[in-house]
Structure 1
Amino acid sequence: MTRNSPTRRPSRPWHAAAAALAASMLVACGSTPTDETAGMSIEKLQSEARDEVEAGSFERAIKLYERLEGRASGTMLGQQAELERAYLLYRTGEKAQALAVIERFMKLHPTSPAFDYALYLQGIVNFNDNLGIFGRLSRQDLSERDQQASRDSYQSFKQLVEQFPQSKYADDAVVRMRYIVNALAAYELHVARYYFRRAAYVAAANRAQQAIQEFQTSPSTEEALSVMAQSYDRLGLVQLRDDAVRVLRQNFPSSRYLAQIPTDAKTP
């Protein structure tokens, strides 16, 4: 009788399945996504990105500019790609990402010839044509609305104008600064009216005073003085009311708002 060779433990089905799964995971981990731009020259990559922008394919253009930025790192072309990407992020509604790219650019390239454009773009991204009362009024309390983005936009434009007065973006920045000032003043006045209608006279007077102090040259100053005077009148603060009326009359002698203030406060 022949001697049996040592018996092997029978393989189990789950062992085979586990081995197959492990093998597939190794293959997956060892593979890398295909980079369709790997064989492109820098010039071709730039051309492709521009074509995608013209075609309105901003998402793909963003990816191409990101790759171009990496390959052309340390060059003006790389800097241009970085700013192009920031602009496209802004155009696609990714404002936070756009600002992050711009801030990184400013930190890494403080002497770049394109720094003026970076400031301008930063101002544009924060610039909001709606600016509070000019947009749709939601149910949010007006006093809770955040105007910080508009103020940040103003500061970017201001730095641009002061640091690069000869920049081709300076003139437009000045126009936008003027708009922001008038819009912010109008917003403060709107909030002051809001409080006045609700008999919150202290808050109304404070917001009107803020509009006057911060934005003295805005068209809202005239009505802000009137709201302030009327608020002080309702609070029984006669001296403060008369002071506000006096300033209103001196600066706007024909103001229609003078008629809204109690008679005893209109005498010089």
Structure 2
Amino acid sequence: MKRLTITTLLAVAILSGCSSTEEVVPDVPPAELYVTAQQALQSGSWTTAIERLETLDSRYPFGAYSEQVQLDLIYAYYKNDDLALGEATIARFNRLNPAHEKSDWVLYMRGLTQMAQDRSFMHDIFSIDRHDRDPEPARKAFRDFKRLLDRYPNSQYAADAKARMIFIKNRLADYDLATVDFYIRREAWIAAINRSQQIQKLYPDTQAARKSLPLMLTAYEKLGLQEPIENTKKLIALNPVN
């Protein structure tokens, strides 16, 4: 029954993605088209908003609404999980508007877009915690949020960016911890020690750093290194796992 439920769910998701037909956007003045795009954005009708905004962007690339259309597309693409299109639009906007007054928001949205790429449809549907997957999008998001804090410390998005950096830091530490566990199971003791030390250096205030200590102790014990064994036992006593 569970297999049937999952199969049915996936089939519905695939069919719903394939069943939509592209709507022909009427040839109306840009102001009217922009109003309908804004109405779609405000109602959360992301697909409709994207259709209207893309039409504006293609028909009037240098019109009065061009900059705002691109900003709206960045947001709509993010909300609609069109992350590659969002990233491309951000790159285009930055290239054309290197000193725009909303550059902090664009940088913030790039971080959000990168962060969203660190998950997948399957993980969301089944609430799967795959902290061992490639964290490169998370690293990029971390860099963007850090860049936001460095460049625009007074931005209204700074506080949220800082909170997200804490979340991402734990995500990256958990990835490294999964790697340590992999090395331990493969009896790659030196590699396990090196990666554990990396966690403790880069992410000292995370649970992963504390959890890496017993794994590092195991590696030292397997290698028969008495002094590191004693030092690691002291660190474990000072840094218990909560």
Bin the TM-score by the shorter chain. 0.7 to 0.9
Cα deviation 1:89-110 (Å, max 9, x = unaligned): 2222221121111111112211
| Residue in structure 2 matched with residue 73 of structure 1 by the alignment | 62
Corresponding residue pairs, total: 215
Aligned counterparts of 1:49 and 1:153: Cα–Cα separation in 2: 28
Q: Which AA in structure 1 matches 2:28?
A: G
**What CA RMSD, in Å, does the superposition of the two structures yield over aligned residues?**
3.1
Correspondence for 1:85: 73
C-alpha separation in 1, matches of 2:116 and 2:85: 17
Which gives a bigger RCO, structure 1 or 2 (Cα 8 Å, sep 6+)? 2
| 1:198 Cα deviation after fit | 4.3
**Higher-helix-fraction structure:** 2
TM-score normalized with structure 2 length: 0.76
Segments of 5+ residues of structure 2 without an aligned counterpart are 1-23
Contact 1:102 1:122 in 2 (8 A): yes
> Aligned-pair distance for 1:50?
1.7
Q: Does 1:39 align with 2:28?
A: yes
Bigger radius of gyration, 1 or 2? 1
Q: Is the 1:65–1:81 Cα contact (8 Å) retained in structure 2?
A: yes
CA contact (8 A) 2:189 2:220 kept: yes
Deviation at 1:129, TM superposition (A): 9.2
Return 5+ residue gaps in structure 1 as ranges: 1-34, 258-268
Encode CA deviations 1:181-201: one digit per residue, 9 max, x unaligned: 112112211332233244333
Alignment of 1:131-150 (within 5 A): 136=128, 142=132, 145-150=133-138
Change (3 A) 1:73 1:242: farther
Distance 2:94 2:165 in 1: 21
**Cα offset, 1:119, TM superposition:** 0.6
Match of 2:101 in 1: 113
Give TM-score scaled by structure 1 length: 0.69
Question: What is residue 6 of structure 2 aligned with on the other side?
Answer: none
| Paired position in structure 2 for 1:242 | 230
Which residue is 1:159 aligned to? Answer: 147
After TM superposition, which residue ranges in structure 1, 4 or more long, deviate above 6 angstroms?
A: 129-134
Distance (Å, rounded) in 1 between the aligned partners of 2:164 and 2:117:
10
